[in-house]
Structure 1
Amino acid sequence: MLKHLKYVLSAEDRKSIPSMLKELIHCGILEKEIPFYYFTCLLHKKNSGNYRHFMGSKKVKKLYKARFEIVDVLANKRLFADVLKLNDIPQSEILAINNGYEFIFNDVSQILNNSKDLEYVMKKLIDQSKFASVFVKPDDGYGGFNNYKVDLSNVGELVNKLFPLMNNINFIFQEVIQQHDIINNIYDKSVNSLRIHSYKNPETGLIEIPSALMRFGIGGSIVDNISSGGIFVALDVDAWELTGKGRSFLRSGGHFYDRHPDSNVLFDGYKLPYKDEILAIVKKAAKIFQNEVIGWDIAITPIGSLVVEGNTRPHLIMAQMACGGFKNHPVYSRIFADFFIG
């Protein structure tokens, strides 16, 4: 908390203290809570949007409980991959899995006794992979934690980290995603995914796309997750271009970025490829599941797009920051209206 307060007070682009106090009091009255969300949504900064349009944390928690049911098929990456495959939805291929120290590769199971055994099978995986590397992540993880990109240059080091983790974590071992040069131009150390939010009308079954954003790694990170220090930028779904500034969460400093801090590429107005294809894939995938709102993580490759994950509980604070608040949004103001009061 003290670190967060330091970030707030030291921000060069923050509002004046009297302005912040006035808005904080008004937020508390509007949302009937201690308005910590005012800071987590970076509303203390200039050009952060109209604070009146933002839903408070207490109401967001109620919204999660009422409308965002956790579904095993979406939460478990192995089950999710099976469903996508059955429905011909493009995804990154799973090469192997583990159940504890049982390693399953090419439909053959073997027990790993030590890190040397793991190194041996990892080298076989790397040798058979398309791009001489393998991406490893927990099958039920989130936030980019315990994710590893393994190739021949680091396999000896990383198996010493992975092996003890396998006692408690089941991983999936995937083909590394080859990213489009247009995306690599901004940041090439991680797969920088789109987060596209789909809404299924419970009465008609029609799929809408209320909002979208794009996430980027920074500083050499191999993951784009904002909770791991990355940044995100809103995506104008109609124009299919990045819009406005990049943002990091308050816990990572709460910064605004006109340009990516590593490549110096300007975010605002940056055009992306494959609009029609990506929206068609998201709408097709969203029809499979009963959830009203799903956050889809989409990777952009040189030859098309891939579904990385489907999130039954997408980060609503991030979505709200990217779209300028739910209360004034053309879709969210309609579908979440019951939660704006009380």
Structure 2
Amino acid sequence: MSFKYQMLRFLSTYARKAYRVLNYEHFVEQNIQLAKKFKPKNGQVLYKLTSEDLKNYKKKWGVFGAGVKDIHVRNASGFLGYFDENIVPSDVYFAIIEPLLNNRKFALAYEDKARIDWINKPEHIPAIYVRNINGVYYSNDKKVLQKQSIDFDGLLTGVDSVVIKKTIEIHGGKGVEMFDRNKEGQLVNDKNEILSLDLLEQKFKKDFLVQKTVEQHPFYKAFNPSSLNTFRVYTYRSVTDNQIHILYSFLRIGAEKSRVDNIANGGVFVCLKEGRFIEKGMKIGGVVVKQMNGLKPFKEMGTPPFIDEVYKLAKELAASHYYCRILGFDLAIDAQGKVMHIETNTSDIGMEGLQCTLGPLFHEFTDEIIEYCKTEMKPKSKYSIYGS
């Protein structure tokens, strides 16, 4: 390898490291702000951590380095009403556990939305009309296409709505735009820009796709009709027996008039326990929500339709991701009740609010994961990019 490329690789690695350090400290600051919700009011607090609680917590997670912050468990206890030493510190999760469970050399490639139907189950992927990979257009059967040969209008004949996505290196609903037919029959976005390949290249340059919009099942549409409301399902491939388990699942519901369901854009998430919605959903900043859009309270809704099929598909998808032990799948239910695979998340899989609603991220698998990571980790700071 030439000196030039060695230096580029060195600088790239440390740029990612600096980015992660800043983000971990940002997570801590977010948690500190959240903690203000739990300052005693009129002498009352849902749960007050004891010195013995904190001692046990720091002993358990201190195996990953000195200075374990207790802000994470303070917040979780405030919401849950009890202490659990298995609450995972966010910085430990993002800096150590996730990179050790998921081999980053391979993991990021499996997030590529432009190849989602090529590397997963294509029958569960919404139709892709155009895909641009690294500046090159490809047909659905993987043949190279010249831009001038693409009959863009012909491909979208009879299509009333499409979603445009940036396909790599982006999360949280960013890089997503919707185009709908107007009265003149043109596909336009909310800025009234007319959809064309030239427009997409201007916006994204490369690495984007044009995909069919999912018409969702009436049950899920009722929560918020403007957004595709998706399940996020966390799977874990055990480090002891390699069996795949469902860790968590929650429904994400978009904010009113929002086209995306992301929490950062004002949406709500509500977790499921034993296949049923729990009592409390949550918005960003720890705002509790118990029902949506005039519907029944979450706790009275029973088992959401097709949830068994959602879990079944999540496990089937996880089985083919050999380099990743923890995954977050975004799955939707279409109008016919079919589970559609929207996205695969292999890195920086958000987990901040989950532990405040259902408790420890890894449940009964916490100790086996700690032991595995202790064995695999390198003797460096928690900000090292393990697995890179």
TM range (shorter): 0.7 to 0.9
Cα 1:24–1:300, aligned 2, differ >3 Å: closer, same or farther?
A: farther
Query: Aligned runs of 1:115-134 on 2, under 5 Å?
Result: 121=152, 124-129=154-159, 132-134=160-162
Q: Which residue of structure 1 aligns with residue 40 of structure 2?
A: 16
Aligned equivalent of 1:266: 297
- 8 Å CA contact retained: 1:197, 1:210: yes
Q: Is the 8 A contact 2:214 2:334 kept in 1?
A: yes
Aligned residue for 2:129, secondary structure, equals: strand
In the other structure, the counterpart of 2:117 is 81
Equivalent of 1:186 in 196, 220, 223: 223
- In the alignment, which residue of structure 1 is the partner of 2:352? 317
Equivalent residue, structure 2, for 1:115: none
Of 233, 241, 265 in structure 1, the residue corresponding to residue 276 of structure 2 is 241
Deviations 1:23-73 (A, max 9, x none): 49878653443444357xx44755565364422233212212221333144
Aligned equivalent of 1:56 = 89
Q: Which one of 295, 317, 322 corresponds to residue 285 of structure 1? A: 317
CA distance in 2 between partners of 1:274 and 1:339 (Å) = 34
On the 8 A contact 2:229/2:254 being kept in 1, the answer is: yes
Aligned to 2:378: none
Among all aligned residue pairs of Structure 1 and Structure 2, give the percentage whose two residues are the same amino acid: 18
Q: Deviations over 1:67-121 (max 9, x none)?
A: 1333144221123320124xx5511111112357766678753269xxxxx9x94
1:295 aligns with 2:325: no
Aligned partners of 1:162, 1:3: CA distance in 2, in Å? 35
Separation of aligned partners in 1, 2:130 and 2:113: 13
Taking structure 1 as the reference length, the TM-score comes to: 0.77
Determine if contact 1:49/1:324 at 8 Å carries over to the other structure. Answer: no
1:202 to 1:5, Cα distance in 2 relative to 1, 3 A? closer
The one-letter code of the counterpart of 2:224 is Y
Q: Distance in 1 between matches of 2:35 and 2:345?
A: 30
Q: Give the C-alpha shift of residue 299 in structure 1.
A: 0.5
Amino acid at match of 2:128: I
Pair 1:164-2:202 in alignment = yes
- Contact 2:227/2:254 (CA < 8 Å) preserved in 1? yes
Task: Give matches, 1:95-110, under 5 Å.
Answer: 95-98=129-132, 108-110=145-147
- Per the TM alignment, residue 228 of structure 1 is displaced from its structure 2 partner at its CA by 2.9
Q: How much does 1:128 deviate?
A: 4.0
Letter of the structure 2 residue corresponding to residue 138 of structure 1 = K
**Structure 1 residues 157 and 275, CA gap change in structure 2 (3 angstroms):** same
**Which stretches in structure 1 are left out of the alignment for 5+ residues?**
113-117
Measure, in 2, the Cα distance between the counterparts of 1:65 and 1:6.
27
Corresponding residue for 1:230? 267
Aligned-partner Cα distance in 1 for 2:49–2:245? 33
Pair 203,4 (structure 1): closer, same or farther in 2 beyond 3 Å: closer
Q: Max radius of gyration: which structure? A: 2
Aligned to 2:7: none
- Give the paired residue count: 317
Q: What's the CA shift for 1:296? A: 1.4
CA distance in 2, matches of 1:7, 1:58: 16
2:116 is paired with a residue whose SS is helix
* Corresponding residue number in structure 1 for 2:101: 67
Matched, 1:151 2:180: yes
SS for the counterpart of 2:124 is coil
Q: Measure how far apart 1:205 and its partner are.
A: 3.5
Question: Which AA in structure 2 matches 1:301?
Answer: D
For the residue of structure 2 that corresponds to 1:191, the secondary structure is coil
Q: Alpha carbons of 1:15 and 1:45: their partners in 2 closer, same or farther (altered >3 Å)?
A: farther
The Cα of 1:142 is off from its aligned counterpart by: 1.1
* CA distance in 1 between partners of 2:316 and 2:281 (Å): 29
Q: 1:44 to 1:180 in 2, by over 3 A?
A: same
1:138 aligns with 2:137: no
Give unpaired runs (5+ residues) of structure 2: 1-25, 59-66, 183-187, 375-381, 383-388
Q: Secondary structure at the match of 1:33?
A: coil
Q: Is the 8 A contact 2:234 2:246 kept in 1?
A: yes
SS in 1 for 2:304: coil
